[in-house]
Amino acid sequence: MSRRRSLHLGIGLTLVLLLAAAVVVSYLWLPFAPDDTSGGRLSPPGDGHLLGTDKLGRDLFTQLLLGGRIAFATGIGAVAVGSLLGVSFGLLAGFATRWLDDAAAVALDILIAFPTLLLAMIIVAGAGASLGAAILAIGIGMAAIVARLTRVLVKQVLAREYITAARVAGISWPRIVASHILPNIAPTLMVNLALQAGLAVLAEASLSYLGLGTPPPNASWGRMLFEAQATALTAPVAALAPGIALVALVIGLNLTADGLRDLTDPTRRRARTATSPASSTSPATTPETAATPASEPAAATAASATAAATATASAAASAAERDISPRRAAGADGVAEPSDPTGRSER
């Protein structure tokens, strides 16, 4: 893997794992109780409060850790819902007849053209503001993108020769799906789902900012940004902390997806191998020797033509020697002598 891509993957995984570790720690330890308001309104960092307090006197670091729980739960839950619905529908569309496949493609295009956030707002408004409704709404919006990608990948795999060989061998379709189709489309889907996880975190923060996400007293980075916007100048930490955490998580997921794409894509690996210094022509190789493989077909053709011409000339010479004509056996009186089967003429 190239240095740039490995750097992307390393930075992305570092950001995601650091935030995930903080979320795991929050289940074991919290600096203050989530509803503790004894710190005073808008206290600056210090005096036992690492990031200060919000306008209600709650510890900002505690609220930040609790918001991380919501962000990771939304990302994982929405990806689970979207992948389950999207992969299932994509597999069915990949095996469908032509007119059913065309109808499924049109339906997916319509759903994808519809804004995911607006669709989530409609679902949440009908089901009520809650974490479960937000995860379900974001997952349904994500499912259309996953389904279209799955449909295209399944059709590409079904056109392979090993699928035809498996069918000729009598292998059932469920076994082909489990043994050949899903393992071949999994790397591409994994990269796409990593990107969709970042979008799901942003969508949940947007819903919470609009009041349609997780209801109070549960903390959410989006609602923390909404509550801190009125005091952004007097207490900037209350707005900067959740904003930085949200950006770090989304950037980490995007960089991780970028690194995974380069790691799992064989075409990119072949391109890197072809352009890497190790695979280039060695210093001892001259332009003439480097061009030798390209000229081998022409040389082989010329050699074949020369050999054919030589064989033809030899055959003609042999036929001439065996030719029985009056000129060959004519004597001094112009009378032809009988030919000698041994090839020697008697004078």
Domain ranges of the chain: 3-279
- DSSP letter at 180 equals I
- CA angle (120 as vertex; 69, 244 as ends), nearest 5: 40
pLDDT at 233: 85
Per-residue pLDDT tens digits for 21-66:
999 999 999 998 888 888 788 888 877 788 888 888 888 999 999 9
Whether residue 217 has a cis bond before it, omega within 30° of 0: yes
Round to whole Å and give the CA distance between 204 and 335: 115
CATH code of 3-279, in short, is 1.10.3720.10
| Sign of the dihedral through C-alpha 254, 256, 262, 265 | negative
Assign 271 a pLDDT band (cuts: 50, 70, 90): low
Averaged pLDDT, 275-304: 41
- Nearest one of 229, 226, 144 to 192, comparing CA atoms: 144
Stated pTM of the model: 0.72
Look at residue 35 and give its three-state secondary structure. Answer: coil
pLDDT at 128: 80
Per-residue pLDDT tens digits for 130-173:
888 889 999 998 999 999 999 999 999 999 998 989 989 888 98
Per-residue pLDDT tens digits for 237-267:
989 999 999 999 999 999 999 888 887 765 5
Round to whole Å and give the CA distance between 133 and 139: 10
Round to whole Å and give the CA distance between 306 and 36: 96
